[in-house]
Amino acid sequence: MEHTIEVNKTFAKDVVNALNQTPKQLPSMYFYNAEGDRLFQKIMALDEYYLTRAEMEIVKSHRAEILKSFLGGDANFRLVELGAGDGTKTKVLLEHFVNEGTDFVYSPIDISQSVLNQLEEGVLKAVPNLKIDCIQGDYFKALSELNSNHLQKEVLLFLGSTIGNFGLEAGKNFLKELSNNLSSGDMLFIGFDLMKDPRVVLAAYDDREGVTRDFNLNLLKRINDELDADFDVDKFQHYPTYNPITGETKSYLVSREAQQVHFKAIDYTLELKQWEAIHTEVSQKYSFQMIEEFAQYAGFKIVRHFTDSKELFVDSLWEK
């Protein structure tokens, strides 16, 4: 009997929509299936991938100052996290805050309840006395609900330079929308990967072991699995670029030959010319000036920049 797969319609629509753009694209949010999560964990441990270690150094070395700045003159706050991942960096802060007897609730927001369950279990193992209140849902819906019955100060955490995946224009607009869902006095603690030696940036997305290549190619494998497509990943080359003027780091999958790919589950055919590129990800790098412009555009004042000792990365604290 023929085996049919159940198609996630949003996934199918987003993928086809992106491939129908000129130039062709794929949405980077779809990197993160189970295999993508596994590969991203490996990326974070790579020699070349400096981002995670730099941000870890920031939260470890500045945790006391970070807590003081979060409190400002207030007695308590709600710490709301967008896109917590496995929570490794957040745990450093949570542990310190609890040890200091801080009156706060930790509220991670995620679209996936299973991600939240795993996070809650992991975080409570490390910080048993934590008050945690998970919120399942879309970021903006969750934030507007929090804000409508708002009594305490909210401090938003958005770590890891995840904002970089939006690129410049969409990133600015995302921050403005965040701001629209906050009240005066609320704060945002946000990670930005800084402009630096262009070869250091490029190596982070082109590691010797090829883990980042596999992470990029995994998007095609996911489409094979979920849309019954027939991508042959060997016919694609992982090709990252860095533009030291704009700070854009873009990754592509380049077709080594002219080819057709069939998506059987949705009856779609993709035509690729030889050396045609599919743009799969942007990982924006920032100057301090760009960060200041972002904050101003979105209606925030910069309270303080926290950097690592090599100034590779900054966690910037903003107040609305």
- Residues in contact with ligand AVJ by CB under 6 A are 43, 51, 160-162, 164-165, 205, 212, 215, 281, 283
Through-space distance between the first and last CA atoms of the chain, rounded to whole angstroms: 60
Shortest distance, position 219 Cβ to ligand AVJ, whole Å: 11
Give whichever of 153 and 191 is closer to ligand AVJ, judged by the CB atom. Answer: 191
Close Cβ partners of 161 (under 8 Å, ≥ 6 residues apart): 51, 55, 191, 192, 193, 283, 284, 313
Q: Alpha-carbon distance 186 to 320, whole Å?
A: 6
Shortest distance, position 40 Cβ to ligand AVJ, whole Å: 6
Give whichever of 39 and 229 is closer to ligand AVJ, judged by the CB atom. Answer: 39
Give whichever of 315 and 319 is closer to ligand AVJ, judged by the CB atom. Answer: 315
Residue whose beta carbon is closest to ligand AVJ: 283
Give whichever of 42 and 264 is closer to ligand AVJ, judged by the CB atom. Answer: 42
Give whichever of 52 and 263 is closer to ligand AVJ, judged by the CB atom. Answer: 52
Give whichever of 106 and 242 is closer to ligand AVJ, judged by the CB atom. Answer: 242
Residues 284, 293: contact at Cβ < 8 Å? no
What Rg, from alpha-carbon coordinates, does the chain have? 21
Give whichever of 127 and 163 is closer to ligand AVJ, judged by the CB atom. Answer: 163
To 10 degrees, what angle do helices 50-71 and 88-99 make? Answer: 30
Shortest distance, position 196 Cβ to ligand AVJ, whole Å: 13
Shortest distance, position 232 Cβ to ligand AVJ, whole Å: 22
Shortest distance, position 260 Cβ to ligand AVJ, whole Å: 28
Q: Alpha-carbon distance 210 to 221, whole Å?
A: 16
Instruction: State both tokens at 168.
Output: 């410049």
DSSP secondary structure string for all residues of 279-297: EEEE---B-HHHHHHHHHH
Shortest distance, position 160 Cβ to ligand AVJ, whole Å: 5
Nearest 5 degrees, angle CA 56-CA 57-CA 60? 85
Residues 237, 256: contact at Cβ < 8 Å? yes
Shortest distance, position 178 Cβ to ligand AVJ, whole Å: 17
